[in-house]
Amino acid sequence: MMTTIIAFTVVLGLLIFFHELGHFVMAKWIGIRVERFSLGFGPKIVGYTYGDTEYRLSALPLGGYVKMSGENPDEPLKGQPWEFGSRTVWERTRVVLCGPGMNLVLAVVFLGLPFFMGRQVPAYLQSKPVIGWIDANSPAEKAGLQIGDLIIS
């Protein structure tokens, strides 16, 4: 039970991380100031600040968020180019869509990974079907099959 909970939390954490990373990277690329990148909600467990951004791990691991300057409609806009609300509709749309877009990329990578890794092919699929043994008094023995016979149909 505990293994299932831990596995669930790790997988959900990875999905959330890549989703929020999509928003984060596009916002930074466009030039929007990101104030906080958080995995989880609630009280901060651990975190550090680098540049204008606080990176944190929070107590409730069922989500995450990227807090951008000027994103909250209750905040008055200063008209600065680094504010989310001051950017064009197309730029804001790109920031919003990059979260789900990263989830799509992650799905394609994880679904495609087994095909690139290859797999071990069972020997019976690579070799011809040849009789290796026959049990005494079996239907095969009564039919006249012998060890080494090749099955062709």
| Predicted pLDDT at 36 | 95
How far apart are alpha carbons 24 and 4 in whole angstroms? Answer: 30
pTM above 0.75, yes or no: no
Give the catalytic positions in this structure.
20
| Predicted pLDDT at 78 | 80
Tell me the pLDDT tens digit for each residue of 38-59: 998 889 999 999 999 999 999 8
Tell me the pLDDT tens digit for each residue of 7-41: 998 888 899 999 999 999 999 999 999 999 999 88
CB half-sphere exposure, 21, CA atoms < 13 A: 11
Tell me the pLDDT tens digit for each residue of 71-108: 887 878 787 888 998 899 999 999 999 999 999 999 99
